[in-house]
Amino acid sequence: MAMEFDLIARIRARVAARGDVVLGIGDDAALLQPPPGLQLVVTMDALHAGVHFPHGTAPADIGWKALAVNLSDLAAMGARPAWCTLSLSLPEGDAGLVDALLDGFLALAREHDVALVGGDTTRGPLSLCVAAHGFVEPGRALRRDGARVGDDVWVTGTPGDAAGALAALQAGAAVDRALRARLDRPQPRVAAGRALSGLATACIDVSDGLLADLGHVCTASRVGAVVELEALPASPALARFRPEMRWPWQACGGDDYELCFTAPPEHREAIARALAGAGVPAARIGRIEDGQGVRALRPDGSAWTPAVPGYRHFQDPSPLL
Ligand code: ADP
Ligand code: MG
């Protein structure tokens, strides 16, 4: 059983340096030097065992995901990530568990040149609470409140994969490897968010389900939206399912951490170019209209209503317990 400071020393020994970290882990607080003229973008998200990841998830995947969901929020703002902090709650002072959590956490941090600059370490049920900090040029942040009537609605990647993996897990069925990877190691769309800054009118990351999250954009922007189910891009693994089976995953499944964004039709080509440059596929799935709420349409034009619109923490039973 390691002591708290031993654990912190293990963490400190592994973090990469960044030029703008004047003082990192080890003092009462970190000293950070933001670039002049840029706005600081701050976000925080916690991951709790049994709520945000199934019991039995590999610790390295938990570590990865704890940072990924936060970098996804920065991506959805069009921000460039820089720093993060980690509040760690552990049932026991298990150094091996800390090492394994960090394997995933720091692997993703390296990919995005994010420095872990501080945190807290306490005893309790396994959970990771991460804050992430990034920068954006003034006026260039991607907000939820900028969607306009007539805008296209777009989504990156292939939403629904994580929900497909979860459905198989819950059914006790074999889980497709590609789908499982999407659930356990989501790739925050940081490059896409940066590329969309200046082109998209509004943006959100899909954590609670595409229709539900697009609904947040609509509420903030005081508009409505229509989504064509036929236009939802399906990964090869999902395309093997009947549409009626996979639509709920694609339209309402959370945990994919793709970006849903809006942009005027005259930006179509520029968006395709910008996202190709970022190496991220995207599809047009609908449009913004007058009114409120999100309508989903079947290929024949009839309205489709999902059984469960999206995950709600204080209303739904945990999908993982
Ligand atoms: P304090 O009692 O002043 O809060 P702590 O013992 O909690 O000090 O932390 C000591 C140092 O280690 C601080 O710089 C803190 O930010 C850092 N730290 C503690 N836990 C973590 C963690 N899980 N990840 C990264 N840094 C941590
Ligand atoms: Mg502390």
Q: Ligand 2 centre from 121 Cα, in Å?
A: 7
Can you name the residues that pair with 138 across neighbouring β-strands? none
Does the residue 195 lie in any domain?
Answer: yes
For residue 24 and ligand 1, the question of a CB distance below 6 A is answered with no
* Whether residue 5 is found in the same domain as residue 59: yes
Q: Ligand 2 centre from 321 Cα, in Å?
A: 31
* Whether residue 238 is found in the same domain as residue 288: yes
**Total structural domains within the chain:** 2
Q: Ligand 2 centre from 88 Cα, in Å?
A: 10
Alpha-carbon gap, residue 22 to 11, rounded angstroms: 18
Q: State the sign of the Cα–Cα–Cα–Cα dihedral 276, 282, 286, 288.
A: negative
Residue with tokens 């996202």: 275
* Whether residue 199 is found in the same domain as residue 241: yes
**Rounded alpha-carbon distances, angstroms, from residue 5 to 8, 25, 90, 106:** 5, 11, 14, 19
Residue-number span of the structural domain to which 209 is assigned: 151-304
Q: What is the pLDDT of residues 85-131, one digit of tens each?
A: 999 999 998 999 999 999 999 999 999 999 999 999 999 999 999 99
Does the residue 27 lie in any domain?
Answer: yes
| pLDDT for 317 | 53
Least confident window among 5-9, 73-77, 143-147: 5-9
* Whether residue 258 is found in the same domain as residue 166: yes
For residue 119 and ligand 1, the question of a CB distance below 6 A is answered with yes
CATH code of the domain covering residue 112: 3.30.1330.10
* Whether residue 177 is found in the same domain as residue 40: no
Alpha-carbon gap, residue 215 to 219, rounded angstroms: 6
pLDDT at 318 over 90: no
